[in-house]
Amino acid sequence: MKLESYWTASAPALARAPVELPAQCDVAIVGGGFTGLSAALALAKRGAQVLVLEAGDRVAAEASGRNGGHVNNGLAVDYAEVAAKVGIERARGWYHAYDAAVDAVEHVVQQEAIDCDFARRGKLKLATRPAHLEALSRSAQRLVADGVDTDVAVLSAAEVQAEVASEGFVGGLLYKRSAQMHMGRFANGLAHAAERAGAQIHTGTCVQRLVRSGPGQAHHVHTPRGTVLARQVLLANGAARHGAYGSFGWMRRRIVPIGSFIIVTEPLGAERAQALLRERRTYVTVANIHHYFRLTEDHRLVLGGRARFAVSSPVSDAKSGDVLKAGLLAMFPQLQGVRIDYCWGGLVDMTQDRLPHAGEREGLFFSTGYSGHGTQMSVLMGQRMAAVMAGEAGANPWQGRDWPAIPGHVGPPWFLPAVGLYYQLKDRLGWA
């Protein structure tokens, strides 16, 4: 079992000779994940001189390359819950932003001819309890009644079992607009597209601190390889813990980095994989501590979840792999004896309201807090923040939102074990 991401291990790293940093640029982007690469592509196409500064040794080294491979529409929280807090119009707009985000990924894949197995097969939320299915049914009814999403359908237990070879589900809710892709190959394709447009990508270049002389002044972007003077800066580093706390502390007090862990089986073969998940959609179970899974084009099963409320490390990843394998066999006992080839963990940049936050603060632009739904939203927000930085403030669907700091959160998330126990208790008792 390799303790590395299947997506990055099965995609070639971008090879290039080190290039000296320029003395100045129009835009410096901190982070070479999907947000940063998407913004770089959009900004370079607008004629800006763009630098992407990535601390890791390859692009998409963090959340963008360490996720479950889903490109799903739908909010991370129940639409009706959001509508009750902010009103139907605003909630509808946010929901449709996720539809636009899936469309944005598909458009980039097609326009830039990226070979990444992009496929729109839908997402199925799976209920393990009758109460969960009732909640999914209410959600579907509300989405249709408010004219938010008519491409949803409630499936019965028999309909679910006809496509998912597991007896543990009592029904589900199908979102027909969702998709999936190979994350490593998409990242490489997006990076190549940004470079073709004129952007420079510098890996192994950690931004240590940001200094600005005053309002309207350029930013001094300090790295171990030298300092760059940038007219604008976009923070696209999510929950990554690189760099000095002083420059990124404001965001880090508002984001909880939660570990999410994933395993990938050996190739199952086309026939066995098809018998397991007939429609080859993306799947997620309804629970506070849930699982998400899908098949790859080479017929492996990818399964992830909050196996442990801990941050990723080799020891933590290995322990989480054991937990996930047990969950896999409980769901699909017919896979007993199947080898696990890959196991890894990553950080989810979770916000208190589980919705993204994006805008400008003290001259720094940012987009982050995707809360486990970032694959598609990061691509869209890279494009939208490029427009915002070019003067189109209305391009940001998340503008004007308050973002208070999380009480008691000033560094490492010391409270995660207690949160994990709370969610385990809720699942045991059947609480939503």
pLDDT at residue number 231:
97
Which of the pair, 51 or 258, is modelled with greater confidence? 51
Beta strands in 121-269 (DSSP E): 123-127, 152-156, 171-175, 179-180, 200-202, 209-212, 219-223, 226-235, 256-265
Q: How confident is the model at residue 246 (pLDDT cuts 50, 70, 90)?
A: low
pLDDT at residue number 421:
46
d(Cα 182, Cα 119) in Å, to the nearest integer? 10
Lowest mean pLDDT among 99-103, 258-262, 361-365: 258-262
Q: What percent of the chain has pLDDT over 90?
A: 79
pLDDT at residue number 416:
52
Which of the pair, 148 or 13, is modelled with greater confidence? 148
d(Cα 225, Cα 207) in Å, to the nearest integer? 10
pLDDT at residue number 98:
98
Mean model confidence pLDDT for the chain? 91
Q: Is the pTM of this model over 0.85?
A: yes
DSSP, residue by residue, 392-411:
-GGG-TTTT---PPPTT-SS
The CA distances from residue 276 to 7, 125, 148, 179, 348, in Å, are 22, 16, 32, 19, 28
Whether the per-residue pLDDT at 131 is higher than 50: the answer is yes
Whether the per-residue pLDDT at 136 is higher than 80: the answer is yes
Give domain limits for the chain: 6-419
pLDDT digits (tens, 9 = 90+) for 76-101: 999 999 999 999 999 999 999 999 99
Question: CA-based angle 180:181:184, to the nearest 5?
Answer: 145
d(Cα 402, Cα 413) in Å, to the nearest integer? 22
Residue 205 sits at φ, ψ, to 5 deg, of -130, 90
pLDDT at residue number 323:
92
Interacting residues of 396 by C-beta distance below 8 A, sequence separation 6+:
358, 359, 381, 384, 385, 388
CB atoms within 10 A of CB 408: 9
> What class is the 6-419 domain?
alpha beta
pLDDT at residue number 234:
98
HSE-up of residue 118 (Cα within 13 Å, Cβ side): 25
pLDDT digits (tens, 9 = 90+) for 300-310: 999 999 756 56
Whether the per-residue pLDDT at 432 is higher than 90: the answer is no
Helix (H, G, I), strand (E, B) or coil at 419: helix
Residue length of the chain: 432
d(Cα 238, Cα 225) in Å, to the nearest integer? 22
Residue 220 sits at φ, ψ, to 5 deg, of -90, 110
